[in-house]
Amino acid sequence: MSYGGDYSTTSYGAQGGGGGGGFMPGSQPESGGAKRSYGKDTLRPVTIKQLIEAHHPNPDAEHFMIDGGETTQVTFVGQIRNVSMQTTNITYKLDDGTGIIEVKVWIDSTDDGATEKQKQLGEQAYARVWGRLKAFNNKRHVGANIIRPITDFNEVSYHLLEATAVHLHFTRGPPESLQAKGGASGGAANGAAGSFDQGVGGTKVPPSASMAARKVFQAIKESPQTNEGLHMQEIASRLNMDPSEVMKAGEELGSLGLVYTTVDDHTWAILDV
Amino acid sequence: MAEVTPRITAPYLEQFSHNIVRITGKVRQLRGEQATIDAAGSITVHLTRDSHLQLNHAVELIGKVQQDLSVRVLTATDLGPEGSIDFAAIDAIVDATHRYHEIFYNKGEQ
């Protein structure tokens, strides 16, 4: 499940009649300047504070780092504090309670629904934005692909909780229970950061793994050892498990790509990627 | 206006006295320039001339917490009938705001 996909269907689907038509031309400057592969693009729900504090690896970099994850496209909500009409764009000041950031939307003169939408995006109104964080003259703004009014205030709650869930996913890893259940909220959070899973949660045992494999993995991870890893007998005595059980668990972990054999077939070390 | 307005409910008022905060609650009483709203507890608010509160509507306020833990309203946004707002979600956000404050506000600047 791709987060980007989800969002594009709902947003474009719902907004197609109104301002959606303006999206394709509006996005052209983005795709023209993009040297990075789109396979790496992610869409992350964030708070404005996260945007203000995001680490910019270098002044020319097209991505920012948030919680150690590469971030390109972002989505957030906010209350409009100021609207300023420029010749080529409209600049909104958005405030979500965590900070204030400028959002620039290119004016699409061919979009007939634009003025109607514009009316709904007045001061004090809540809006949702999809766009890309940019740094220009040491000042940050968001170049928005889409900005649309929020009509159901619960979307603000939803977004802030989603941003929190994704932040926790990056900083603490996915909770086991959420992964196993794949519940509504957990599913969204996991999906959102799905493309980062391998990078960040590299040493997570998948929910499908057996209990024995989990215990053995934990034991190897937590025991002091040389780079030769831990021998089957030692794991067995530490865990009070039958050596043959440990053997099976070790093979299971090996086939999952979580451990590798070192000096012989019965000694494993954590494969840390 | 303050750049950062942490979301709070009644139990947090003391911790945030003299700060500008954001409160989502239900309008319980209107008494001219004063009102009572319910946000996990009762809060007395002092209204401005252009804050139009309606009884039994949900409202989002930005205001300054006073010495007596009442709130002087700066802006008020009517959110419609209170039944349309999920207050369990609002409580969850207030909880997350203070539990994971690193993405909501800088602790210690209050």
Cα A149 to its chain centre, rounded Å, is: 23
Averaged pLDDT for residues A37-48: 83
Query: Using CB atoms and an 8 Å cut-off, which of residues 77-106 of chain A contact chain B?
Result: 79, 81, 95, 97-100
Q: How confident is the model at residue A11 (pLDDT cuts 50, 70, 90)?
A: very low
Which residues in chain A have their CB less than 8 angstroms from residue B104's CB? 47, 49, 97-98
Q: Is there a domain that residue B20 lies in?
A: yes
For residue A99, the model assigns a pLDDT of 97
Cβ contact, residue pair B75, A124, below 8 Å: yes
Cβ contact, residue pair A49, B92, below 8 Å: no
Which H or E element spans position A196?
Answer: none
Cβ(A269)–Cβ(A228) below 8 Å: yes
Give Cα separations from A239 to A205, A216, B9 (angstroms).
18, 8, 48
For residue A16, the model assigns a pLDDT of 38
How many CB pairs lie under 8 A apart between chains A and B?
A: 60
Q: Is there a domain that residue B14 lies in?
A: yes
Nearest to A241 by CA among A217, A212, A198: A212
Q: Is there a domain that residue B57 lies in?
A: yes
Mutation pick from A164, A168, A172 vs chain B, by most beta carbons of B within 10 Å, is A164
Cβ(A92)–Cβ(A120) below 8 Å: no
What residues form DSSP beta bridges with A77? Answer: A128
Of the CA atoms within 13 Å of residue B6, those in its CB half-sphere come to: 28
A97: nearest CB among B6, B89, B102:
B6
Averaged pLDDT for residues B33-48: 96
Could you give the CA distance from residue B4 to residue A98 in angstroms, rounded to a whole number? 5
Domain extent, residue B83, equals 7-102
B3: nearest CB among A79, A100, A153:
A100
Q: Is there a domain that residue B84 lies in?
A: yes
- DSSP for B23-50, written as a single string: EEEEEEEEETTEEEEESSSEEEEEPPTT
Burial class (CB in 10 A: 0-12, 13-18, 19+), A3: buried
DSSP category for residue A101? E
Q: Is there a domain that residue B109 lies in?
A: no
DSSP category for residue A107? -
User: What total of structural domains would you count in chain B?
Assistant: 1
Tokens of B39: 């946000």
Q: What is the ipTM for the molecules in this complex?
A: 0.94
Q: How confident is the model at residue B67 (pLDDT cuts 50, 70, 90)?
A: very high
User: How many beta carbons lie within 10 A of that of residue A110, not counting itself?
Assistant: 8
Could you give the CA distance from residue A204 to residue A122 in angstroms, rounded to a whole number? 46
What is the least distance, in Å, from the CA of A128 to any CA of chain B? 16
Which residues in chain B have their CB less than 8 angstroms from residue A49's CB? 4, 103-105
Nearest to A90 by CA among A47, A62, A127, A45: A127
Q: What is the CATH number of the domain that holds B97?
A: 2.40.50.140
Could you give the CA distance from residue A75 to residue A132 in angstroms, rounded to a whole number? 8
Tokens of A21: 């038509």
- Answer with the residue of higher pLDDT: A237 or A161: A161
B104: nearest CB among A49, A81, A124:
A49
Q: Is there a domain that residue B95 lies in?
A: yes
Q: Is there a domain that residue B2 lies in?
A: no
Q: Is there a domain that residue B81 lies in?
A: yes
**CB distance from A154 to chain B under 8 Å?**
yes
Could you give the CA distance from residue B61 to residue A146 in angstroms, rounded to a whole number? 27
For residue A2, the model assigns a pLDDT of 44
Least confident range from A58-67, A104-113, A156-165, A263-272: namely A104-113
A153: nearest CB among B7, B79, B103:
B79
For residue A187, the model assigns a pLDDT of 40
